[in-house]
Structure 1
Amino acid sequence: MQPSILDRYQGLVDLGEIEHDPAQEDIAGRLDALGHQLAVYRLALKSSALGWLFARKAVAPPRGLYVWGEVGRGKTMLMDLFFEAAPQVTKRRVHFHAFMQDVHARIHDWRQKKKHGEVKGDEPVVPVADALADEAVLLCFDEFHVTDIADAMILGRLFSRLFARGVVVVATSNVPPERLYENGLNRALFVPFLGLLAERMEVAQLASRTDFRMEKLGGVKVWHVPADDSARHALESAWRRIAGETGGAPACLRLLGRELKVPKAARGAARFGFHELCEVPLGPADYLAIAEGFHTVIVDGVPQMDEATRNEARRFITLIDTLYDNRVKLLVSAAAEPDALWTGSDGYESFAFARTASRLMEMRSADYMALPHGRPDSAASGDATGLVET
């Protein structure tokens, strides 16, 4: 038998990787209970020879769990433990923003097929929900939040169908359900969705005593010059504090139609080499996925740049702008201080690098490090991973 989530949680406490917290332990127990119910549900689905329609009507799916709490309280860690231990039903874990991007892309694709006579009907949400339900019985969402009216207007229909198909949902969020899409346009049309969540998901607040993430980063030097063995050792030590002694694992972020490889990821943090971020053809969408998916990013080996590495310089500028806008914590080993990274002549890069250097200096400050993850105009912040382990 696999160890329970509570056993895994206690194991991390015993190893000294985390501190014991009663609120976290309570959520771990709730997730364990859901895991047991999922195991029974899985057997019921597996035993039916008549397909999903009869199987899922024969046994009611368990209610999911909506866990909310302030940033850095351990929501991602607990979701990690649950997803790893969840029974072998088809399952998917994804940042909620990325999930909704996927939904809109599927709706667009359905409408294109409708134009060419490849599908019938007038309503794309139901067939899209059916396709999602075929792919996963368990959906785990990091950072469940709603700020976009296009999302808000389809969530009721989408989730009604998902729940009717027997899909079980587990989600983390920084706000309770009643604050989703708060002050949003036409919110009255969104309110029935909240009733659906209350019916199909239990709600639990993770009221931990402190921001454990900031405790792990407290006193950690974030900019190391030069990028030598000493800097690599310092970043490795910082990474172990954040990711735990296992050191994380390779992962990927799902973008529309492709995947972005992440060399190492753990507990809402990611580690890259400069070449993996800026010497390959990545663009704004890739950097946004990283910024929304991880609260902390470590980058090894940032070099000085000039006209010969203009493309790399432009990608680095875009990367830093995106991380800054999303309040991502950044730890770096570099060949020089921020204001000396660009050694080229005057031009666009010189102007843009001046802004980049200013932002990098601000990102080293205690005030910046204390900011919650996520854009200030968004309800998103904190514990996202939005990834699949590879």
Structure 2
Amino acid sequence: MHGSTSADAAGPVPRLVDRHPSVSPERLIAQLRPPPTFADVSFASYRPDPAEPTQAAAVQACQDFCRRAVEHRAGRRKLFGRRAVLPGVGLYLDGGFGVGKTHLLASAYYQLPGGGPESPTPKAFGTFGELTQLAGVFGFVECIEMLADYTAVCIDEFELDDPGNTTLISRLLSSLVERGVSVAATSNTLPEQLGEGRFAAQDFLREIHTLASIFTTVRIEGPDYRHRGLPPAPQPPSDEEVAARAARVDGATLDDFDALCAHLATMHPSRYLALIEGVTAVFVTGVHAIDDQNVALRLVSLTDRLYDAGIPVVASGAKLDSIFSEEMLAGGYRKKYLRATSRLVALTRAREP
């Protein structure tokens, strides 16, 4: 099925596979801000769970980070009115899925003064993947020069499963911290590790050993808010029902799962945000379990962009919580697949298209 409904007088439903977006370096920089899903968040809108005191403590820690980041960016006044550069400060939010880490990270971004690259006090918010893409496009040294005057860089979903990229970003951030840029980061702890104290935090600090001394680690406990009181993934509709529903939604796209996965392989993940630009809902037919790691990781990247943009997903075929096999979930990318599953299920409940 390729998104065509012959009975639809308005013509076939558009397909993502027919889109071939390009992304300029300027757009990559402009994208370094919280995604639409978190465009209106603040510390005031974060609702700490009274049963989880670590959540209220995390709000305070984030506010302290903002205050110290501004102070360190301003530097220390020396004799004759000159200011010495103070190294940036660091904050690492350690916790499981859906405890509000991204909400808090975005709130910190908004609390900090300034804005984009043209602001007198610029700041940046991006995923780990976006930061590695930025370094790849501009080059390591150029990226340092571009971000050296920023007050802070906020990194969502810091990845520890790619040693090369982790080393690259650790070196990049070390250079920025020396120049007064503060760094806040989040990452996920696997569900079965929640009882193991600071396991994830130790992993993080070991991998970024050149930076570890500046980071304050804040643990956030709590259940995944996306799944609180909710059942597993719903039973999928039929191919015909998915196509019929897609035809009734302005701005929707309709794709065959295998064709979509093949299309994702034709472009760098940095283009996925442009791929879904202007889309109101994504409909997919023929979903099935994946046994190719490269295909799975590209699907994770697309899921992250859909989640960031708050775009609902409706799919036929296999249930969305069964796409990644047990064998894949037992491998090194487990946390990515679990995060993607959590987000896909949440997107099926975003609203009824």
- Give the structure-1-normalised TM-score: 0.50
Equivalent positions of 1:279-298 (< 5 A) are 283-284=264-265, 288=269
Q: 2:69 aligns with which of 38, 57, 68?
A: 38
- Return closer, same or farther for 1:362/1:223 CA change in 2, 3 Å cut-off: closer
Choose from 126, 147, 150 the match for 1:132: 147
| Partner Cα distance (2:228, 2:268) in 1 | 26
The reply on whether 1:77 has 2:103 as its aligned counterpart is yes
Query: In 1, distance between residues paired with 2:142 and 2:297?
Result: 36
Is it true that 1:142 corresponds to 2:123 in the alignment? no
Deviations 1:237-265 (A, max 9, x none): xxxxxxxxxxxxxxxxxxxxxxxxxx9xx
Which of 216, 228, 240 is the equivalent residue of 1:215? 228
Q: What residue in structure 1 maps to residue 174 of structure 2?
A: 160
Q: Take 2:329 and 2:102, find their aligned partners in 1: how far apart are those partners?
A: 15
Alignment-mate amino acid for residue 56 of structure 2: E
Is the contact between residue 93 and residue 140 of structure 1 (CA under 8 Å) also seen in structure 2? Answer: yes
- Structure 1 residue 222, shift from structure 2 partner: 5.7
Displacement, 1:163? 1.0
From 310, 320, 331, the equivalent of 1:363 is: 320
Matches for 1:325-340 after TM superposition, within 5 Å: 326=300, 332-333=313-314, 337-338=316-317
TM-score, length-normalised on structure 2? 0.55
Q: CA deviation at 1:26?
A: 1.3
Q: Distance in 2 between matches of 1:173 and 1:164?
A: 23
Matched-pair identity in %: 21
> What's the CA shift for 1:230?
7.9
Distance 2:156 2:246 in 1: 32
Count the aligned residue pairs.
257
Instruction: State the SS of the aligned residue for 2:332.
Output: coil
1:104 aligned counterpart, secondary structure: helix
Partner of 1:93: 125
Pick from 213, 236, 246: which aligns with 1:199? 213
Q: Distance in 2 between matches of 1:217 and 1:370?
A: 22
Whether the 8 Å contact between 1:143 and 1:380 is mirrored in structure 2 is no
Q: 1:149 to 1:38 in 2, by over 3 A?
A: closer
1:8 match? 45
Listed one character per residue, the Cα deviations across residues 140-189 of structure 1 (whole Å, up to 9, x for unaligned) are 1111123334334444542331111111100001253431498xxxxxxx
Separation (CA, whole Å) in 2 of partners of 1:5 and 1:142: 16
Distance 1:286 1:77 in 2: 29
Work out the CA distance in 1 between the residues paired with 2:104 and 2:129: 20
Match of 2:254 in 1: 274
How far off is 1:321 after superposition? 4.7
Match of residue 355 from structure 1: none
Aligned amino acid, residue 98 of structure 1: E
* Cα offset, 1:362, TM superposition: 4.6
1:375 CA drift (Å) = 9.3
Distance 1:324 1:103 in 2: 20
Q: Is the 8 A contact 1:5 1:29 kept in 2?
A: no
- Kept in 2: contact 1:146–1:379 (CA 8 A): no
Distance 1:96 1:197 in 2: 16
In structure 2, distance between residues paired with 1:131 and 1:20: 43
Query: Are the counterparts in 2 of residues 142 and 383 from structure 1 also a CA contact under 8 Å?
Result: no
Structure 1: 5+ residue runs without aligned partners?
A: 108-124, 183-189, 236-262, 264-271, 292-296, 305-312, 339-360, 386-390
Classify 1:158/1:81 alpha carbon distance in 2 versus 1 (closer, same or farther; 3 Å). closer
Q: Does 1:378 align with 2:317?
A: no
Question: Which residue in the other structure is 2:197 paired with?
Answer: none
Contact 1:145 1:379 (8 Å CA) reproduced: no
Distance 1:153 1:333 in 2: 38
Range with bigger deviation, 141-150 or 222-231: 222-231
Q: Are the equivalent residues in 2 in contact too, given 1:222–1:364 (CA < 8 A)?
A: no
Letter in 2 for 1:87: P
Given the superposition, is the C-alpha separation of residues 299 and 221 from structure 1 closer, same or farther in structure 2, using an over 3 Å criterion? Answer: farther
More relative contact order, 1 or 2 (CA 8 Å, 6+ apart): 2
**Partners of 2:137 and 2:283 in 1: how far apart?**
36
* Structure exhibiting the larger radius of gyration computed from Cα positions: 1
2 CA distance for matches of 1:20 and 1:81? 22
Q: Please tell me the root mean square deviation across aligned C-alpha atoms, in Å.
A: 5.0
